[in-house]
Amino acid sequence: KAGVTQTPRYLIKTRGQQVTLSCSPISGHRSVSWYQQTPGQGLQFLFEYFSETQRNKGNFPGRFSGRQFSNSRSEMNVSTLELGDSALYLCASSFLLADNTDTQYFGPGTRLTVL
Amino acid sequence: QQQVKQSPQSLIVQKGGISIINCAYENTAFDYFPWYQQFPGKGPALLIAIRPDVSEKKEGRFTISFNKSAKQFSLHIMDSQPGDSATYFCAASGGLQGGSEKLVFGKGTKLTVNP
């Protein structure tokens, strides 16, 4: 099975711009989560989608948004970019097992640099 | 508010030695504790995970020890190899009610295994 794929892998933007990142989960996985990784704050949860619905949201401003499509692919959008948004954005997908457990599998991430 | 505290921040061991990384959590609702391994330029990869109904889980050279009363868990890497050099993250999530829950990560431990 192919792993989680994220596009683009690298992105350079300037302050004030907006950006859209894409994530394709592992085939059959219906849950997609997004995380921000920075040297200072580590890995922080952004939001999680399941069957096109946002079920969990982290403590990030409204500039960060996302959505999930019927094929489970997900996008996240950051508007009005700030220098502090420079980070590695990771997508993780999971498949709900019969006993309600799951494992999150991460993609390689999108490295966003805001100048 | 750091719900999962990880130590040490960095660790250097000799080849063949034992690497030990510790984590402590605060939220008693957490019931899933995975460890992830991350190499530079890659996303985190699940290494091993434990639930609080067992005190220890072993997979190959990797062992998780779990102390529910102390709200602590640790990763032991036996016979450490240079290829184990990576950043290790502990994480926790708070139960599943019909779907995936967000992972709360520790800050990470950079492990270096010298040949």
Mutate to test the interface with A, among B100, B104, B107 (most CBs of A within 10 A): B100
B99 pLDDT above the threshold of 50: no
Does the beta carbon of A5 lie under 8 angstroms from any beta carbon of chain B? no
Report the 3 state secondary structure along B6-25. EECCEEEEECCCCEEEEEEE
For B7-48, the pLDDT digits (tens) are 999 999 999 999 999 999 998 888 889 999 999 989 999 999
- The answer to whether the beta carbons of residues B44 and A106 sit under 8 Å apart is yes
When pLDDT is cut at 50, 70 and 90, the band that residue B93 belongs to is confident
Instruction: Return all residues near B56 (Cβ < 8 A) that are at least 6 apart.
Output: B50, B63, B64, B65, B66
Instruction: Count other C-beta atoms under 10 Å from residue B70's C-beta.
Output: 8
| Contacting residues of A for B100, CB less than 8 Å apart | 31, 33, 48, 50, 55, 94, 96, 102, 104
